[in-house]
Amino acid sequence: MAFDPSKYTVAKARPLPVILLLDRSGSMSGEKISTLNSAVNDMIQSFKTAGQGEVEINLGIISFGDGGASYDLQLQPVAGISNMSLQANGGTPMGMALRMAKDLIEDKEIIPSKGYRPAVVLVSDGAPNDSWEEPMNAFISDGRSSKCERFAMAIGTSQEDPVLNKFLSGTENKVFLASDASKIRDFFKFVTMSVSVRSRSQNPNALLPAASNPTSMTAIEDMAKEFGIDL
């Protein structure tokens, strides 16, 4: 039998994409944007230790505010990402951000078919001021974006937010309410833990059951303990 060295190479890790859609409108200024930046940077550092050999967590950030939507962090392995910082200003063009996110997810050169189901996180403290209905319907109903795991957080508004609840329609997840800026960290810890657990599971495409109160520290600590993950 002929010697084949290709049989002895390590298989390349499959990407698990995480895409953050973050509100940087003027109403997010002050403590809210500062805490959001800090929570995202904590997530980046936690993700660096989360993936296993077969799974590589990739992170991308799209924000929306003054000037429209911007692709602030190109989707890439977390190992190469340092800290990021957003500045708050302008309106809330969420529809534009949804269109950009969908185009990103549908591009198989950026997110290959061999990749795991993406997780998409939408964070906002107010209603969109652009045409959001059509891009929202396209995102949740058509193509690869409709199959994503979806999380949403309302900052200082209401868990009944109609836009964020629309984003979660068809999933078991609920809108997470951050009644004040301090609760933003809890939400990001929960999302970080959910993605980390998926990355270490036998089937990273499987979604975790929705928690009844996912932003409570008790729920986060219980999940970490169950899966042997350090916070």
pLDDT in tens, 71-130: 999 999 999 998 899 999 999 999 999 999 999 999 999 999 999 999 999 999 999 999
CA distances from 227 to 51, 155, 199, 224 (A): 13, 29, 11, 5
User: For residues 189 and 222, is the Cβ–Cβ distance under 8 A?
Assistant: no
Rounded to two decimals, the pTM is: 0.89
